[in-house]
Structure 1
Amino acid sequence: MKSELVEQVRAFVSWVGAGRKLTQTGRVTMTDARVLVELLGTGDVLDPAIGDHVYRTGSSRELYNLTLVVEWAKVARLVRKLGNKLVPVKKNAALLDDEWALWLTLFTTFDRMGEAFLPAGVSESPLRPEFASGSRMMLTSLYQADQPVGRLCAMAWEVATAPYVLDDATEFQLGLWRRCNDRDTECVLDALRRLGAVTIEDETAALTDLGRSGMRRLLDEPEPGDPAYQLRITLVEADDPPVWRRVLVPATIRLDRLHEVVQATMGWQNAHLHAFSDGQTSYGVPDPELGFHDEHATKLNDLVAPGERLEYTYDFGDCWDHEILVEEATVAESGQRYPRCVAGQGACPPEDCGGVGGYRQLAEILADPGHEEHRSMLDWFGLDSPARFDPARFDPDEANRRLTVASHAGFITFRR
C-alpha cells in the first residue's frame, strides 16, 4: 500500500520528535517550514516570484500542502499542541508502525479537516464551515458509483449552501462563491487522491480499493471473509399475508444499526420508540426511566448465535413485535453489499393503525366498498382507490434502496 500523504504524515511526526516550538499563533515556524517543505517533498512554493518581484512567504499557513499534513496529524491525534510546542501523542505512536492502521486513522478523521486546511477570509467558500457534511456526501456518492468531478462540485454546492438563504445575493456574489466552492471541492478530492482513497481520470472520480475498504469501516460493513449472519425478521401475528424479511448483516453489527436495518427493510418510518430484548435484558436508546442498556455498545453476535432469536418491538403504543431469527452463520462475499435484503413477503402496515389487530380491521374495511368507514379509511391511507392497497406487495429492490439511504444517513449522523 503506497500513499503519498501517509508517508508525509509519518515523516512529519518523526520530525516532531520530542517536541517542536510553535509561533504565537500556534503554527509551525517559518524556519521549520522551510526545512519541512524539502524534507516532506510537499511541493509548496516558497517566496514565489511574480514578474520581477519576490513575495517572501511570511507564515507556514500560506503553504497549503504542508498545512494539510500538519493539520491532519493533529486531527488524527498523532501530535498535539502543548503550550507553545507541538508534541507527539505517545499512546498513538504505534500507528506509525502499522501502515493500514495509520491510513485508516487518516481516512476516518478526514471529515474533521475542513476549517483546518481550506482557505479562510475573503476567498472562503460555503464548503469550509460545512466541510463535514459535504465530504461525507462526496464519499457516500462515490461509494455508490463513480462520479464526474463536475457533478460532485454541484452536489457539494447544494450541501454547503443548504443552511443559507441566498435570495438576496447578486449574480456576481453567487458566481464568486460557487467558484470558491468548486475550488475547495477539487481540493478535497485531491487530498483524498493523495491519500490513495480516490482516483481521478478524465474528470471522473472513483474510489480505490483502499477507499472502499475505508468506507466499509465507516459504514460498519464487513470485509470479504468476515463473519455474517442470515436473519429472518418476522412481524409477529401478521399472518394474512405473513410479513417477513430475510437479510444478510455483519455478525458484529451494533444493535443501533440493526434497528436501522429493521426499519428500512420492513418499511417503517422510524417515528416511534423501539427496543430489543434477548429475553433477559432490554436494549435501546439509553434512558434512565426505561432502563434500557445502550444499543450503541452492544453487538448482535454478543447476544445470539445461529438458531437463536432476538425480540424487537417498535412503537410501544401499537406494539409492533418482531422476531429476529439467526437462520445461519456465513461469511461476507467480495463485491456484495451488507446489510442486504435478499427475500421477503408482505407489505409493511401503515404507521399508527392500531397494531396487528388494527391492521387486520383496516384491510377488511378497504376490501369492502360498502363499509361505512371505507371512504374515510381510503382518505386516511392516502389512496384514491382500494386497488392501490396490496397487503401482499413486497419489492426487495425498494427495501435495499431504503437500506442504502439509511446506512449512509447513519454514517452521516454517527460522524457528527
Structure 2
Amino acid sequence: MHDELRAFTEWVGEGRKLTQTGKLTLSDARTLVALLKTGDEIDPKIGDRVFRTKSSTELPGLNLIVEWAKATGLVKVVKGRLLPVKKAAPLLNDPKRLWEASFAALGKMSQTLFPKNYWYSSLVGEEFALIWPALQRSLYGGPVPVSNLRELAWQIASPYYEMRDPEAQRRMADQDIDLLLTVLARLGVVELTEETAALTPAAVHAVQRALGEAAPGEPLYQIRVTLRESADPVIWRRLRVSPAIALARLHDILVTAMGWENSHLHLFTVGGVLYGQASPEWELDVRDEKKTRLQEVLAQAGAAMEYEYDLGDSWRHDIVLEEILTAEEGVRYPMLVDGAGACPPEDVGGIGGYEHFRRALADPGHDEHDEYVHWAGLNSAQEFDPARFALEATRRALTSAG
C-alpha cells in the first residue's frame, strides 16, 4: 500500500484540479486506475449493458488510496486543488517512515473503509474508534483466529444498537472485519491464513507504539495493586506495564488482572485529582483518562494512586509504583508477575457485602447459604475459594486482551 501512496503522491506533482465536489476528475481517475493497478473497473459491462462510471468515488480501490494519502498527510485539498504537503516530502524517500505514517493513519480511515449509504450503515465503521484499538490489542498477543476477531468486533459494537435483523447485521459486521483484514494484509500489517491472523514483525513494533507498550530498553513500571480492606487473604496483583500507557489503557489491564467484568464505571484519584471517562454527565470535575499517561501521575518509586471500580459497590484499589525497571527483549507487556486472592463477585455489595457473602457460603446453616450459592451460579459452596488465584489463566487472559 505504501508503494501506491508514494506513486499517487508523485503523480499529484505540483497539484491537480478537482471537480466542483472536490473529487478527482474521471480523466485523472482513468489514468490512476491503470497507473496504480487499483483493480477498479471503469464503465463496467454487465451482460449487454454498460454502466457508466459517474464519479471517482465509485472506484473503491482508487478512493482508498486517495483518502489514505490525505489521512497520512501526504496530500491536501486547497481551494479546489489537490496539493502535495511539502513537509511530508521526506517520507517518500524513506519506506520505513512512510509505512509507519500510513499505519498510524488507519485510525482515521473508517469513513473510507466502511462508507455509509441510504440503506446500510456499518456497525464496524460506526464504532471503529473502539474496535480498532481492541483488534490491535488482540493481535498483539499473538496469532488470533479470524473468528475471534469477528466476535470481538461484534461484542464491542452490537450493544449500542437496536437491530431488527441481528443475524443479517452480524453477517455484515463479519464481512467488514474480513475487509479490514484484507486491507491490513495489503499494507503488510498482518499475515492471513484461512483461519488466523498474525501481526508481521514490522507491525508488532508499530502496534506496540500505538498501544503505548514498552519496547526493549525502555523504562518499565512494576506496580502492585491491592484491593483495599481485603483480608484473609489480601487480594493483590503485581504487574509490569509501560509508563507511557494512558490511564484508560491501565483500566483495561486492571480489570483483566483483577478479574472484574468491566461492566461498571471507574475513577482514578491522584493527589485529589480525578481521572476517568470524559463525559458531560459527570457532576464531578473529571479529567480525561485517555489523555493522561501513567508516567504523568506516577513519576518515581513509592508514588501511589487510587483506582475505584464500580462507584456503587466502591471497590477501591491502592496502586503503588514499586520499581522502575527496563523492558527486556522478547518479552511482551503488560505482564502479570504475581498475585493472590480470588476476585469478589460483581454486585455483591462492596467489601462488606463480600464478607457477608463469604460467611453465608462457609456456613451451610446460614439463612442465605442456598440463596447465595444460586446467585453466584455455583453448584456448591465449595466451588468458590477466596484464596484461589489462577495466575497462569489470568496471564493468558491478559495476553489475549492485549
What residue is the counterpart of 2:320 in the other structure? 325
Q: Which residue of 2 aligns with 1:221?
A: 213
Residue 226 of structure 2 corresponds to residue 234 of structure 1: yes
Report how many residues are paired.
395
Shift of 1:222: 2.6
What CA RMSD, in Å, does the superposition of the two structures yield over aligned residues? 4.3
TM-score, normalised with respect to structure 1: 0.75
Q: 1:107 Cα shift?
A: 1.9
Match in the other structure for 2:277: 285
Residues 343, 58 of structure 1: CA spacing in aligned structure 2 closer, same or farther, 3 A cutoff? same
Instruction: Summarize the alignment of residues 70-149 of structure 1 with structure 2, pairs less than 5 Å apart.
Output: 70-89=66-85, 95-96=91-92, 99-110=95-106, 112-113=108-109, 116=112, 132=128, 142-146=139-143
State the alpha-carbon separation in 1 of the partners of residues 226 and 339 from structure 2: 9
What percent of counterpart residues are identical?
45
| CA deviation string 1:267-294 (max 9, x = no partner) | 2233444322333433233466322333
Q: CA deviation at 1:345?
A: 0.5
Find the counterpart in structure 1 of residue 248 from structure 2. Answer: 256
AA paired with 2:105?
T
Q: Equivalent residue for 2:390?
A: 395
Offset at residue 146 of structure 1 (A): 3.9
Q: Which moved more, 1:252-261 or 1:393-402?
A: 393-402
Contact 2:12 2:82 in 1 (8 A): yes
Q: What whole-Å deviation, never above 9, does each CA across 1:300-343 have from its counterpart, x for those lacking one? A: 12222223222223334443222112121223334433222221
8 A Cα contact 1:113 1:131, kept in partner: no
Residue 299 of structure 1 corresponds to 293
Change in CA separation of 1:276 and 1:182 when aligned onto 2, cut-off 3 Å: closer
Secondary structure in 2 aligned to 1:237? coil
Q: Match of 1:196, as an amino acid? A: G
**Please, which of 326, 332, 345 is the counterpart of residue 350 of structure 1?**
345
* TM-score normalised over the length of structure 2: 0.77
Unaligned segments of structure 1, at least 5 residues:
408-416
Distance 1:104 1:280, change over 3 A: same
1:130 Cα deviation (Å)? 6.7
Distance 1:161 1:38 in 2: 37
Q: Which residue of 1 aligns with 2:64?
A: 68
Q: Which amino acid aligns with 1:376?
A: E
Residue equivalent to 1:310? 305
Query: In structure 2, do the counterparts of structure 1 residues 35 and 152 end up closer, same or farther at CA, with 3 Å as the change threshold?
Result: farther
Aligned-partner SS, 2:230: strand
Instruction: After superposing the two structures, state which structure 1 stretch, 244-253 or 26-35, moved more.
Output: 26-35
Give the Cα–Cα distance (whole angstroms) in 1 for the partners of residues 177 and 294 of structure 2: 38
Distance 1:283 1:208, change over 3 A: same
Aligned mate of 1:382, from 377, 382, 387 = 377
Task: Provide the C-alpha distance between the structure 1 equivalents of 2:372 and 2:20, rounded to a whole number of angstroms.
Answer: 70
Decide whether aligned partners of structure 1 residues 97 and 310 sit closer, same or farther in structure 2, where only a CA change above 3 A counts: farther
Matched, 1:359 2:354: yes
1:17–1:356 CA distance, 2 compared to 1 (3 A): same
